Structure formats: C-alpha cells, structure tokens
Amino acid sequence: MSKLLPFFLGTLVGIMGGLIGLGGAEFRLPILIKIFNYPTLKAIIINLVVSLVTVIFSLIFRSGVVAFNIVFTNWVIIINILAGSLFGAYIAVNYATRINEKLLNKIVVFFLVIISFILIGHELIFSLKIWETTDLLKIIIAWLAGIVIGIFSSLLGVAGGELIIPTIILIFAVDIKLAGSLSLAISIPTILMGLWKYNRQQKLQQIKDDYSFIISMATGSIVGAFIGSYLLQYIASTFLYWILGIILLISASKLAKH
C-alpha cells in the first residue's frame, strides 16, 4: 500500500501534465507534506524531481497532438518568457527576504482570479481583439510577464505553468493546447535550474533515502501524463480553458487561505 499510494496520487497529478501542460507542483506539494509528512524543504526537492519527470514525458506524449516541430517553430515565445522567468527567479532569490509575503500572496491571488475569469470568458474577450499589438511590443510584454512569473514561481517553489499558459494565450493568441506544450518546454529548464541550485547547496543528499518513493510517484506521473495526453485529442480546447480557469480559482483559494 505504501508504494501504491504515491503511484496512484502521482498518476492523478500527472494527468494534468498531459492534458493541460502543467507539472502539477502546486497540487503535489500539499500531498507530500500533508499525506506523506515530508518536511517542507525535502518535499520541495522531491516535488521538483517528480515535476521534471512529469513535464518531460508530458511534452513527449503530447507530441501526437502538438508536434515537436510546431512547438519549436514558436521558439521565440519559449526563449522570450524563459529569459524573463529566469531573470525573475534570480531577482527573487536576492530579494525574497525584502518582500512582504502577505502582500505578495494578495497580489498573486488577485491575478489568479482575474486570469481565471479571462480564460473562462475567453471567447468574448478574444472576439474584442483587445490583445492585438505589434510583434516588438508582444516580445517586451512577454519578457516582463516572464520576470513576474519567475518571481512568483521562485518564491512559491513551483514551475508556474498556471501563469505561463494564460500569459502565452493572452499575449500571443495561440490555442491552449499549443500553449500547454510551450509551457512544458519552458518549465524544463526552470525546474533544472531549481535542482541545480539545491545541488550546489548540497541539499539533494536529503532525498537519497527516498529513491523508492520518488520512483513510485514518478512512474505514476508518467502513466498519468500518458493518460492526459491521450485524452487531449478528444477534448475540445474550449473545455480546457474552463478546466484551467477552475484550477486557477482553486489555486487562488488555497493561497488565500494560506
């Protein structure tokens, strides 16, 4: 049972990776802390490792619906937001102690709620064409948005897919299925940087006795990513907007309680 539970829960979270393009870190972290009683730091590191497995396999499995060549054709979007997010993460590391956490949480909650309603009502909003602008301005806005995402992601200990996907949709007006794959491509180097940071601090040694648990949960995540990617071809994009919007509202509710 001890090995089946992390596998099962990993599968449930992994489905979101294949279906929407999320690493699922926001949902996996409470599971690691509350259900499996891991200390916060160890839970964060395990979460990063499993998230890395989830996003890699989700990107691979989703290639049947969103081909790799389509993803890499949009390399400008990937590099643009990634550059901003990595810079934002660097800023967060240096100024985290100077930021009022309660104020930061309120800001994040506000934006999550606003973005969720934008996604749920995306058809009306996109029909107004209020997001159309020049390519140069899109690049600048995306880079600035990447910085904000990097700051939030670093301080909250997640890859930030919930923010990356709507950002790509709103700025570059791409379909949510493509945005999900682009988000996964952006998340991979972001997670690797987090693991590299913990490795330099010699924190990865803390999980050396948890390899069996990690393998079980990571295997479940791979299965979940496959299931989510399989479902992706049968689910309309409009429904995915609603799912992501609801996920954002749930995330906002959890953060507000925190």
Q: Tell which wins on pLDDT, 44 or 12.
A: 12
4 confidence band (pLDDT: 50, 70, 90): confident
Better pLDDT: 192 or 115? 192
Pairwise CA distance, residues 12 & 256, whole Å? 24
Is-contact 214 4, C-beta < 8 A? Answer: no
> Which one of 1-15, 60-74, 106-120, 154-168 scores highest in mean pLDDT?
60-74
Which pair of structure tokens corresponds to residue 95?
């100024």
pLDDT band of residue 1 (cuts 50, 70, 90) is very low
Q: What is the pLDDT of residues 139-194, one digit of tens each?
A: 888 888 888 877 766 665 566 777 788 888 888 888 889 999 999 998 888 888 87
pLDDT category at 31 given cuts 50, 70, 90 is confident
Q: Which range, of 94-108, 128-142, 155-169, averages the lowest pLDDT?
A: 94-108
pLDDT for 164? 85
What is the chain's mean pLDDT, rounded? 81
Q: How many CB atoms are located within 10 Å of the residue 102 CB?
A: 9
Q: How many Cβ atoms are within 10 Å of 170's Cβ, its own excluded? A: 21
Stated pTM of the model? 0.81
Sequence ranges of the domains in the chain: 4-257
pLDDT at 222 over 80: yes
> In this structure, is the dihedral angle defined by the CA atoms of residues 45, 77, 233 and 170, taken in order, positive or negative?
positive
Percent of the chain with pLDDT over 90: 20
Question: What is the SS3 assignment for 5?
Answer: helix
Quick check: 132 pLDDT over 70? no
